[in-house]
Structure 1
Amino acid sequence: MDKSITDSAPARAAYLGGLGIAIGGAVLFSTKAVVAKLLYRYQIDAVTLIAFRMIFSLPVFAAVALWKMRTEAPLSNADRWRIVGLGLVGYYLSSFLDFLGLQYISVGLERLILFLTPTFVLLISSTLLKHHISRKQWLALLTSYCGIVFVFLHDLNSGSRNVMLGATLVTGSAAAYAVYLLLSGEMVKRLGALRLVSYAMCVSSAACIGQFFLLRPASGLVQPLPVYGLSLVNGILCTVMPVFMTMAAVERIGPGTASQAGMIGPVSTLFLGALLLGEPVTSWQLGGTVLVLAGIYLLSKK
C-alpha cells in the first residue's frame, strides 16, 4: 500500500474530527437563543435569565481559572484590569444586550445579526485603526447586510412588536463582542485562549449575578422546575461546552476553518426555531440566510 495514503488517513481523521467538533460547538452555541425563548415563556426577564445562565456555568469556568492560576505565572496588574474590561464588554454587556433583544425578535434574525460580528470587526478596524478595506471585503459586507435587511423586513411585516428595538439591541451585542475580539487579540497570544476565556467568564459571571441581586429580590431565584432545567442547558450545553469545543477545534484545524464551520450556526438556529418554537421558515428568511452566509464566507476567505 502507498505510504502516503496510510500517512494521510490519520491526518484526515483528525481533520474531520476537528471539523465535527467545530460544527457541534457552533450548533450548541446557536441553541442558546432557542433556550432563551423557551425560558421567556415562564415570565422571567433578561436579568434573571442571564443570572441563571452564569450561576450554572460559573463553577466550570472558576475551576479552570483556579487550575490556570496554580499552573501559570501570575498576571500583572495591567493584565488583570484588561481582563476585567474584556469580561464586562465581551461576555457581560454582549450577552445582556443579546438576551434583551431576543424578547422582541425571532431567533433566526438574532443569529444572523450576531453572525455579522466579523463585519463589525472589519468596520471598527477601518474606522479606528485606519485599516484598508478592499473591494472584495466591501462586496462581502454588502452581501451580508442585504441578507440581514431581507430577514429584518420579513420580521417587520409579520406584525411582531418592537422588532426595531430588538434588532438594535442585538446589533449592539454584536458590536460589543467585536470590540472584545479586537481588544483580546494580543492577550490571547500571551495568555492563551483557555486562560483568558476562563478569567473573563468569571468576571462576567460576577457582573451578571451581582446585577441580579442589585435589581431583583432574592426571591426571584425561586422559579418553576423547568426554569432550572433550561438554565442548566443554557449554562452548560450552550455556554461551557461550545467554548471548549471551539478551542479544541481551533487547535486541530486552525481558526480559519473553525470559523467557516461556524457558518452552520444561523442555519441551525433557523430550523431549531421552527422545530421547537414553531417559528415559520419562509423563503425570505432562507434567502437572507444564504446572503449572510455568502458574505461571511467571502470575508473568511480573505
Structure 2
Amino acid sequence: MEGKKHTVSLAGFLITIIGSILFSTKAIIVKVAFAHTHMDALTLLMLRMTFSLPFYLAAVWFARKENLAPLTRRQWLSVIGLGLFGYYLSSLFDFMGLQYVTAGLERLILFLYPTFAVLINAFVFKQPVVSTQKIALLLTYTGIGIAYLGELHIDTSNPNFYWGSFLIFLCSITYSVYIVGSGRVIPAVGVTRFTAYALLASTAGVFTHFALNGGTLHDLEQGGTPIIWYGILLATIATVLPTFMMAAGMKRIGSNNVAIISAVGPVSTIIQAHFILGEKIFTAQIIGTLLVITGVVLIGWKRN
C-alpha cells in the first residue's frame, strides 16, 4: 500500500512540474509571435481563446452532467465577473505588457499574485496576516525590487519599459482578484462548473473586444498559416494542457504542494528566454528570483 501511495505522489509531482513548465512557455510563444508577425496583443489573445474554445465547451458539457442546483443570479454575476477578471483582463494586460518587457521579468512580476491575494484578503476580508506571511511579503517585494533595478540597467534603451511593467503588475493584480474570488465562489458553485463558465465568459469578453476594435477574420487570413499556429500553440501547449495537468496534480498532492512546486515557473521562463529569445541572465535577476520564489513558497506553505 505504501508503495502505491509513493507512486501516486511521484506522479503528482511530475505532472505538476511539467504543467508549470508548460505554463511558463506562454511568454516565450507570445514574444516569438510578436517578433515574427505584425499581430497586436488583442489579435493574439483572440487566437488563443478561439483554439481553447472547444475544450471550454467540453468542460461545460461535463459540468452540466454533475446535476447541480441552478446558479442564482448573484452566482452568475460572480462567475462572469471573475472570469472577465481572471482570463480576459489579466491575459490582455499580460500580452500587452510582453510587447515592452522581457519574458523573464514578466514571469517574475506575474508570480507576485499570491502576495496580492494575501493583501486583498487582509484589507478587504479582514483576514490577519501572520508573521510568516509578513516575512514572505518582505522577501518577494525585496526580490522583485532587486531584479527590477537590474533589468532597468540592462534594458536602458526601451522607452516603454515602465509602461510594460505596469501592465504586467495590473495582470498580476487582476489575476489575484480572480484567485481570491474563486476561492469564495467555488464551494457553492462547484469547481468544474465555475471554471467552465468563467472561461466562457472570458472568451466572450475577448471576442467582443476584438469585434469592437474592428478586427475581422479577414485580417487573420492575411497573416497565413504561421499566425494560426501561434494561436494553436498558446491554446494547447501553454493553456489547456497545463491547466488539466495542474488540476490533476492538485488531486494527487494537494494545492499547497502544487503552489510550492509551481515556483519552478519563473526559473523555467528565464532559462527558456535565455536560450530561445537571447535574453541575458544577470546576477540581480538570479538574486531577485530566488527571493521571490522563497517568499511565494512560504505563502504556499501557509495556505489554507
* TM-score band w.r.t. shorter chain: over 0.9
Given candidates 47, 60, 63, the residue that maps to 1:68 is 63
AA of the residue aligned to 2:43: T
What does residue 213 of structure 2 align with? 215
Asked if 2 retains the 8 angstrom alpha-carbon contact of 1:48 and 1:220, the reply is: no
Following TM superposition, by how much is the alpha carbon of 1:113 offset from its aligned partner in structure 2, in angstroms?
A: 0.9
Cα deviation, 1:30-68, whole Å, max 9, x if unaligned, reads 110111101112121111010000000011111211232
List structure 1 runs of 4+ shifted beyond 3 angstroms.
Answer: none
Task: Map 1:114-263 onto structure 2 (within 5 A).
Answer: 114-158=110-154, 159=156, 160-218=158-216, 219-222=218-221, 223-263=223-263
Asked if 1 retains the 8 angstrom alpha-carbon contact of 2:220 and 2:227, the reply is: no
CA distance in 1, matches of 2:280, 2:28: 14
What does residue 11 of structure 1 align with? 5
Following TM superposition, by how much is the alpha carbon of 1:70 offset from its aligned partner in structure 2, in angstroms?
A: 3.9
Following TM superposition, by how much is the alpha carbon of 1:213 offset from its aligned partner in structure 2, in angstroms?
A: 1.5
Following TM superposition, by how much is the alpha carbon of 1:289 offset from its aligned partner in structure 2, in angstroms?
A: 0.8
Counterpart check, 1:34 vs 2:28 = yes
Asked if 1 retains the 8 angstrom alpha-carbon contact of 2:23 and 2:238, the reply is: yes
Query: Helix, strand or coil: the match of 1:92?
Result: helix
Following TM superposition, by how much is the alpha carbon of 1:91 offset from its aligned partner in structure 2, in angstroms?
A: 0.8
Which ranges in structure 1 are unaligned for 5 or more consecutive residues?
1-6
Count of residues in correspondence between the two structures? 296
What does residue 14 of structure 2 align with? 20
Task: Map 1:104-115 onto structure 2 (within 5 A).
Answer: 104-115=100-111
AA of the residue aligned to 1:143: L
Cα deviation, 1:69-128, whole Å, max 9, x if unaligned, reads 244233223222211111111111111111111111111111111111110011111112
CA distance in 2, matches of 1:221, 1:198: 27
Asked if 2 retains the 8 angstrom alpha-carbon contact of 1:154 and 1:285, the reply is: yes
Which ranges in structure 2 are unaligned for 5 or more consecutive residues?
none
What does residue 3 of structure 1 align with? none
What does residue 54 of structure 1 align with? 49
What TM-score do the two structures reach when normalised by structure 2? 0.94
What TM-score do the two structures reach when normalised by structure 1? 0.94
Following TM superposition, by how much is the alpha carbon of 1:180 offset from its aligned partner in structure 2, in angstroms?
A: 1.0
